[in-house]
Structure 1
């Protein structure tokens, strides 16, 4: 799902200007079926390049700078330096597993190299898989685009052997990791791991909030999830955007984003919560607590969130959980929405998925409407009905379309379909505006 959420900011006497709080950005990072390059690739070349990748992986795990440098072309000094820097940046990170897998040998057009016209080169797409000890029961994967050059003289790509890494910048793309950006400081809490480029105090604050959020979320959504979180804390908005692989200008008002894979098949993964420092630093204590609980809800519910789960439900449920127990009133949680209602601007339908994009003009209202929809379910049927609805949407399947899945799930969990529920929600909105 696309990310989108505005921050809850402090205003006056701790009154929250309630916008949205964070976001989901679900990437398909699953392993490629079959686990290798196409059958047309020369087997000797595939084995030779994979052997270099295996040596690189072993060097990273051993934190062996010399072994890592030995996989790089001697003339590619900048690449050797960046490899050494990466090992230094990873010094505190509890890496439990690290592997590379060759995916393609001709993944992008190669730029010309002056003075090396006769050198054979390969434009590869590589999958990095890694696990953080104590937190990842399944690997997290990332894509890299690496150029290999055949070292020495003679021999074409079909003769195998002799390949060394020569560039990681010939293709724009690939996934940026936090350790690509600078030295990573690690703070581990009771149920959280914070990896950051920020000061120790800020990272400890994040860990404390994450540790508090885990039991709060489990109290609503149960304990059938990993009950642990990994948070990434970059230094600035530009780094935040690079980690997400997105234009940072679209995230200037988003406090945090949760990334991961959807569905029960990926239930073993611990997803990442990436914190936007530009917004996080403007939040008051309550805002930070709500944001962290909101994002932790996305982690807890990710295995029961499918492509057909409506954004109003996933974001509204996260907002509901985030604000639960804070003592905030609807007027404090949804001021923009209530202002619209009192001005006669009554929504006729639940917000669609596009309403939650970061560039949407009425983003605060979309999130407030979503929160209010979940509030209506809880007020009429209880909190267990909200959890049951969320699960029922996932179980309904998407073959009949998202609208059909929602209607079926609503009938099963609340006894009314989408039209009747929407009418109830609008009636509750009108009552709140009185």
Structure 2
């Protein structure tokens, strides 16, 4: 599944009962509530709080508990304990950079207190890089409360408003390095090595289809449960209860300096067999590889279809095995009359397995008629259209450019291929 932080562009395949293997969430940009401070907010306060943030960042980079504690309000015992725990949780995470930038004063309403000390509610952007994986920082939003004490501004709360959750906010992180991957998780190192083995197998398999111009590395995050999975996505976990993994990032080439995160849903992952885990990991790695050429106008049937196509490639599975729900529908005469809409891939959408299977079958139709290189060319050509004329017009243009058929004719061919498979008794296996 493909998703944008904090959002998710669903992706998956029908290996589990509820439907999805995985997906992706691409973010199109951050959206924040405006601050209530006036344009003339005290510049001295801003400088003092930014100075405190800079000292906090230096303490985290140095893993210096004493220096971090010096930036905290002495009487905030719960905060001091949680911040100390956070630093310990980070011990194995290979950070190459860690900085905080003050974005807004008076960013949210503060709870009442009897303490007369001046407080300011601030919005802060954390920017960090993982060594060997990010050349540009990954960002997260935090909402913090600072209190003036003795002429200094000190952090007094990090819980007055929820911000973006990172893995180290949830527990002690273990790190396992593979040849092409970094696995960060709350499970033991031995369990995480199994994820690294799958990730290292997936990277060259994806590069064999999509080339080697992408970073050819992945970062996997492995929380302990569905609730933690939802917190990392910043979404209702029930909306992803049937999704095995999600890739988060931003659409388009702007993210070239970051390695998008693949976040595993342990509730589903643990129920997959070896083939399912292989397909999920390859599916998600495809989202990482194609992220720079996935745009707002890229339909999800194509982005999820190519991820499923690549995920199942070489597994020897037949259409009956890859698309069982779709086969049942076709046998009952329920032939879809249009390619699945974007919202059909939402985690809680009815018919989620069929949407993934229809998307896989659409990519299969391209490959069977024109060859796999044309499927790759179609994806790139669509990104190059710039979305001119709207999504359907962009898809139509890219189809004509690469396979010589417009969207209407392609949809008719896809429907014909679906019907033909039923007439042939669903015996055609095709490549993959």
Bin for the TM-score computed over the shorter chain: over 0.9
Judging changes above 3 Å, is the alpha-carbon distance between structure 1 residues 167 and 140 closer, same or farther for their aligned structure 2 residues? same
Are residues 1:215 and 2:204 paired?
yes
Are residues 1:93 and 2:99 paired?
no
Q: Is the 8 A contact 2:320 2:327 kept in 1?
A: yes
Q: Is the 8 A contact 1:18 1:335 kept in 2?
A: no
Q: Is the 8 A contact 1:5 1:363 kept in 2?
A: no
- Distance between the aligned counterparts of 2:329 and 2:351, measured in 1? 11
- CA deviations 1:326-354 (Å, max 9, x no partner) are 00011100011011001000001000001
Are residues 1:168 and 2:158 paired?
yes
The SS at the match of 2:242 is coil
- CA deviations 1:146-203 (Å, max 9, x no partner) are 0001112xxxxxxxx51111111111x3100000111101100001000000122221
Q: Is the 8 A contact 1:7 1:279 kept in 2?
A: no
CA drift at 1:8: 4.5
TM-score by length of 2: 0.93
Judging changes above 3 Å, is the alpha-carbon distance between structure 1 residues 7 and 395 closer, same or farther for their aligned structure 2 residues? closer
Q: Is the 8 A contact 2:14 2:357 kept in 1?
A: no
The SS at the match of 1:349 is coil
Q: Is the 8 A contact 2:12 2:283 kept in 1?
A: no
Matched with 1:22 is 22
The SS at the match of 1:127 is strand
Judging changes above 3 Å, is the alpha-carbon distance between structure 1 residues 324 and 7 closer, same or farther for their aligned structure 2 residues? closer
Are residues 1:253 and 2:242 paired?
yes
Measured on the aligned residues, the alpha-carbon RMSD in Å equals: 1.7
CA drift at 1:29: 5.5
The SS at the match of 2:279 is helix
- Distance between the aligned counterparts of 1:179 and 1:362, measured in 2? 35
CA drift at 1:46: 1.0
Matched with 1:337 is 326
CA drift at 1:87: 0.9
Matched with 1:301 is 290
Q: Is the 8 A contact 2:19 2:243 kept in 1?
A: no
Query: How many positions carry a matched residue from both structures?
Result: 413
Query: What are the ranges of 5 or more consecutive residues in structure 1 without an aligned counterpart?
Result: 11-16, 153-160
Matched with 2:428 is none
Which runs of structure 2 are paired with 1:5-404 in the superposition (5 Å)? 5=11, 8-9=14-15, 19-28=19-28, 39-114=39-114, 116=115, 118-152=116-150, 162-171=152-161, 173-404=162-393
- Distance between the aligned counterparts of 1:6 and 1:211, measured in 2? 20
The SS at the match of 2:254 is helix
Judging changes above 3 Å, is the alpha-carbon distance between structure 1 residues 151 and 66 closer, same or farther for their aligned structure 2 residues? same
- Distance between the aligned counterparts of 1:3 and 1:379, measured in 2? 27
The SS at the match of 1:433 is helix
CA drift at 1:6: 5.2
Q: Is the 8 A contact 1:18 1:333 kept in 2?
A: no
Matched with 2:10 is 4
- CA deviations 1:404-432 (Å, max 9, x no partner) are 11111111111011000000000100111
